[in-house]
Amino acid sequence: AQKITQTQPGMFVQEKEAVTLDCTYDTSDQSYGLFWYKQPSSGEMIFLIYQGSYDEQNATEGRYSLNFQKARKSANLVISASQLGDSAMYFCAMREGNSSASKIIFGSGTRLSIRP
């Protein structure tokens, strides 16, 4: 069964606008971690932000914030004041369990394109 679902294959956003990338997940574990990565056309996966299942506050890193709604099992990425350099693939990912010794499962990604 697919664990991470990203329903938006592609999105177009005007520069300087905020954008929300959707991610829902499925797990029976109480402890898990959620990640967002950015993959530009160069291919390298760039870590953006992390949210633990027990974290009470939504994670923020600069222009990135994670809208974590545990009951809905959603972990949407919000990018404020989008820039042309934000154009890339964005992947939501999850690690189950409270140990770091487990693999990360990725969604299929959302391609974000920023219009000037």
User: Any contact of residue 105 with other proteins (CB under 8 A)?
Assistant: yes
Answer for which of 52, 64, 67, 73 binds other proteins (CB under 8 A) is 52
Nearest of 48, 81, 79, 55 to residue 69 by alpha carbon:
55
Answer for which of 18, 108, 113, 115 binds other proteins (CB under 8 A) is 108
Quickly tell me which residue has 């870590």 as its tokens: 47
CA 50/CA 47 separation, integer angstroms: 8
Least Å from the CB of residue 16 to other proteins: 28
Output b/e per residue, 82-98; b: 16+ Cβ within 10 A: beeebbbbbbbbbbbee
Q: Segment 58-77, which members bind other proteins (CB under 8 A)?
A: none
For residue 70, what are the contacts with CB-CB under 8 A and spacing of at least 6? 53
Answer for which of 35, 36, 75, 114 binds other proteins (CB under 8 A) is 35
Nearer of residues 47 and 81 to other proteins, judged by Cβ: 47
- Residues engaged in binding other proteins (CB under 8 A): 4, 31-33, 35, 37, 42-47, 50, 52-53, 91, 93, 95, 97-101, 103-109
